[in-house]
Amino acid sequence: MRWIPVSVEDPTLRLESLDVTFETPQGEVRAVRDLSLSVAPGECLGVVGESGAGKSQSFLAVMGLLGRNARVSGRALFAGVDLLTLSRAGLDRIRGSRIGMVFQDPMTSLTPHVRVGDQIAEPIAHHRGASRAAALQRALELLRQVHVTDPERRLRQYPHELSGGMRQRVMLAIALACEPSLLIADEPTTALDVTIQAQILSLLVELKQDHRMAMILITHDMGAVAGVADRVAIMNQGRLLEIGSTGAVFKSPQQQYTRSLLASVARIDAREPVPAEGARTAASALALTDIRVEFPITTGWLAAPRVLRAVEGVSLQVAAGEALGIVGESGSGKSTLARTALRLLPPDSGQIVWLGRRVDDLSARELKPLRRDVQVIFQDPLASLDPRMTVSQIVAEPLQVHRPALGAPERQAEVIEALTQVRLDPALAHRYPHELSGGQCQRVGLARAMILRPRVLICDEPVSALDVTVQEEIVALLADLKRRSGLAMVLISHNLAVVRQLCERILVLYLGKMMEQGCAASVYSEPLHPYTRELLACVPIPDPEVQPGRLARALPGEPPSPLAPPSGCVYRTRCPHAIDVCREREPQWEPTRGRSGAVACHRWRDPGVAP
């Protein structure tokens, strides 16, 4: 059992009936209502809720960072001072010095044209009056604390030269620069891959213990909270619903909302079995053979273009009624592969076969009638809908292309049927996309894809931009569509827990290459490739009894640049089992588990490496 601080000490921050109201042209919006909570030194409070719950607004209000149209009332006591009554100058002495902050997007939170070292040194010089040399020395020390590799070099780099995970570490270093007594982290890992997410979360745990800071972790991710937080506050629609020790809230939630939130999280350790692989009698609906996609990267006028190998030697087959999950970190070539399979990008070599017909050498004109059988939905639900068209125009467009003879009333009937099929109210047909919620937009995208009754549906991260409860609905809808229409589905996702709910077979990609492929049951229960194992280990489990231990085992390391992939096995730079042969030779794609799976690893059979 973990140490849960008892409130003998004075809390670091105490909120008393905090209210936040926004004046908007449509009237007042009450973002936060009557919020009271506290956080003690050395304690991490997880604040959980879906979008619109008011969790970020509460703490932005505390820091005085809300826009001019916001009204804040109540009290926010920090070290005996009510932050809400402080002048700007008074707040400036506290912000960035005694309270540190980390935001979601590490890309936009750093100034692009200032070197990393100077960005860390700035608050030190500002709040402590240290000299530049001393501040830079301290910056170096901080980078070591947040486990940035090669910190001396990083000091002189610009933010765009760092990976997302590195940038988030730099953000943490800046937040920690003046040894704050409170750290507010607002969705610090949402924009990161699962592996990097696990590293950052375990770093947060370490920092909290080393510095005895109070920490507030604002997130929508129950798994992240389970691994890091000592206490949890659940918020919904601006209200605090429930607060208590993490163990208690997860084990016996008092509120219906908390229960539904916990129930809708896709869990990698779910009790339901993974979809079983059926008899492979059905003909293959989509087949890719040895696909290679390269992008020339021009760095300047005179420099020779470098080649980025986005996808190399990938083959896959999906049969009707079957779902294949493609997983991997960002940069693994998942989306490029999807666009190639759709023939939105031309492959540099390899074959693409749709429903038994080879399509990689067809012209756009020849391809057009075939496109109705292979459809797609995208990650960003809003961006995938034309903002100047209404829902019914969007959904009807494929009909105009492929069944131009259809009259307006019939077309309208088809649109209404498609909307009903994705469980969307047909009354929304005359709305514009920006008037819909994320989940509704994704349903419109799905209706557009399904209206032609395609045989193959490619889903590129279909739920990762959505709230967990909405995710669950969309996943259920996809499962239902697949079952009823015998659709062949390719599901691309970085979320292995979501893939587990839908897919019979899994393909693991790393730096554009295939690492492992197999039926879901065996990949999840006994992954053969060390990378698959690492991916699975990093998926957070919303269970405070196991998640802290899982976090502690997260491996360090980030994917290398795809412009300069490692020799031999591309995964060797992060692999705990790498030996000489991994550097020298590229591993073969070897069949395993009878004929259903395959793996590319030199050591998958070696004792101590094999599971």
Partner 1 sequence: MNDVNPSREPSRGLWCDIRVRMRRDRGALIAGAILVLLVALALIGPSLSPYAYDTLDWQHLALAPFNTSSHLLGTDRLGRDLFVRALQGVRISLLISLIATAISVAVGVTWGTLAGYVGGRLDGLMMRTVDILYSLPYLFIVIILTTLFTRGSLPVLFISIGAVGWLTMARIVRAETLSLRKREFIEAARATGLGTGAIIWRHLVPNLLGPVIVYATLTVPQMMLFESFLSFLGLGVQEPLASLGSLINDGAREMQSAPWMLLVPAILTTVLLLCFNLIGDSLRDALDPRER
Interaction of residue 260 with partner 1, rule CB under 8 A = no
384 near partner 1, judged by CB under 8 A? yes
Is residue 263 within the footprint of partner 1 (CB under 8 A)?
no
Looking at residue 588, what DSSP letter applies?
P
| Strand partners for 288 | 316, 352
- Beta-strand (E) ranges in 25-69? 27-39, 44-48
CB-nearer residue toward partner 1: 412 or 437: 437
Per CB under 8 A, does 437 bind partner 1?
Answer: yes
Closest to partner 1 by CB, 331 vs 433, is: 433
- Asked if 376 interacts with partner 1 (CB under 8 A), we say yes
Applying CB under 8 A, the span of 156-164, 173-181, 425-433, 582-590 interacting with partner 1 comes to 425-433
- Consecutive H or E run containing 308: strand 306-319
In 164-280, where does DSSP find H-type helix? 164-176, 194-211, 222-228, 246-251, 256-264
Stretches 55-63, 151-159, 428-436, 497-505: which one binds partner 1 (CB under 8 A)? 428-436
- Beta-carbon count within 10 A of 602 CB: 23
Nearest CB to partner 1, comparing residues 368 and 583: 368
Q: Does 552 participate in binding partner 1 (rule CB under 8 A)?
A: no
71 lies in the site for partner 1, by CB under 8 A: no
Residue 111: CB atoms within 10 A of its CB come to: 12
Number of residues interacting with partner 1: please give it, by CB under 8 A.
Answer: 50
Q: Counting contacts by CB under 8 A, is residue 432 touching partner 1?
A: yes
What mask, x for binding partner 1 by CB under 8 A, covers residues 211 to 230? --------------------
User: Which stretch in 54-62, 398-406, 484-492, 583-591 sits in contact with partner 1 by CB under 8 A?
Assistant: 398-406
Phi and psi, residue 418, nearest 5°: -65, -40
**Rounded alpha-carbon distances, angstroms, from residue 118 to 22, 146, 393, 436:** 36, 17, 51, 43
Among 29, 130, 205, 248, which residue sits at the site for partner 1 (rule: CB under 8 A)? 29
Taking the C-alpha atoms of residue 491 and residue 461, their distance in angstroms, rounded to an integer, is 7
129 Cβ partners below 8 Å, 6+ apart? Answer: none
Closest CA to 433 of 376, 378, 387: 387
Shortest approach of partner 1 to residue 566 CB, angstroms? 30
Nearer to partner 1, 478 or 599 (CB): 478
Q: Which CB atom, from 52 or from 486, has the smaller least distance to partner 1?
A: 52
Q: Is residue 529 part of the contact set for partner 1 (CB under 8 A)?
A: no
Residue 467, interface with partner 1 (CB under 8 A)?
A: yes
Nearer CB in complex with partner 1: 205/353: 353
Residue type, 575: C
Establish how many alpha carbons lie within 13 A of residue 114's alpha carbon, considering only the half-sphere containing its beta carbon. 11
Rounded CA gap, 145 and 138, in Å?
10
**Shortest Cβ distance from residue 33 to partner 1 (Å)?**
15
- Closest by CA position to 71, among listed 90, 53, 84, 86: 84
Contact between 342 and partner 1 (CB under 8 A)?
yes
- Binding partner 1 (rule: CB under 8 A), the pick from 41, 42, 52, 321 is 52
Per-residue tokens: 524: 């999840």
Residue 604 makes CB contacts below 8 A (sequence gap 6+) with 528, 529, 590, 592, 610
Our CB check for partner 1 shows the closer of 462 and 587 to be 462
Among 7, 8, 24, 549, which residue sits at the site for partner 1 (rule: CB under 8 A)?
Answer: 24
Q: Angle at which helices 164-176 and 116-128 pack, to 10 degrees? A: 10
Residue 445 contacts residue 381 (beta carbons within 8 Å): yes
The distance of closest approach from Cβ of residue 375 to partner 1 in the complex, given in angstroms and rounded to an integer, is: 6
Q: Is 430 a residue that touches partner 1 (CB under 8 A)?
A: yes
Q: Which residue number, 289 or 464, has a Cβ lying nearer to partner 1? A: 464
Q: Measured from the CB atom, is 199 or 390 closer to partner 1?
A: 390
H/E run at residue 141: helix 132-145
- Residue closer to partner 1 by CB (options 214, 446) is 446
Residue of 34, 294, 397, 586 interacting with partner 1 (CB under 8 A): 397
Contacts of residue 429, defined as CB under 8 A and 6 or more positions apart, other chains included, come to: 390, 391, 392, 395, 415, 416, 419
Residues 6+ apart with CB under 8 A from 361: none
Q: Measured from the CB atom, is 79 or 344 closer to partner 1? A: 344
Is residue 92 a contact point for partner 1 (CB under 8 A)? no
Binding residue for partner 1, selected from 132, 144, 251, 368, defined by CB under 8 A: 368
390 binds partner 1 (CB under 8 A): yes
Rank residues 462 and 527 by Cβ distance to partner 1 and give the closer one. Answer: 462
Q: Does 239 bind partner 1 (CB under 8 A)?
A: no
Inter-helix orientation angle 408-421/438-450, to 10°: 130
Q: How far is the CB of 320 from partner 1 (least distance, A)?
A: 19
- Regarding 402 and contact with partner 1 (CB under 8 A), the answer is yes
Instruction: Please report how close the Cβ of residue 543 comes to partner 1 at its closest, in angstroms.
Output: 26
CA-wise closest residue to 188 among 159, 217, 162, 213: 217
Q: Is 439 in the site for partner 1 (CB under 8 A)?
A: yes
Give dist(CA 398, CA 610) in Å, integer.
49
CB distance 419 to 389 below 8 Å: no
Tell me the three state secondary structure of residue 580.
helix
Residue found under tokens 């079952």:
483
Shortest Cβ distance from residue 260 to partner 1 (Å)?
14
| Contact pick of 38, 332, 379, 493 for partner 1 (by CB under 8 A) | 379
Torsions phi, psi of 463, nearest 5? -120, 0
Retrieve residue 132's tokens.
């530049």
Work out which of 51, 260, 525, 588 binds partner 1, going by CB under 8 A: 51
Of 297, 383, 546, 579, the one binding partner 1 by CB under 8 A: 383
Which residue number, 28 or 526, has a Cβ lying nearer to partner 1? Answer: 28
Give the integer Cα–Cα distance in Å for 50 and 261.
9
The residues binding partner 1 (CB under 8 A) are: 24, 26, 29, 50-52, 339, 342, 344, 364, 367-369, 371-372, 374-376, 378-390, 397-398, 401-402, 430-432, 435-439, 441, 445, 448, 465-467, 470
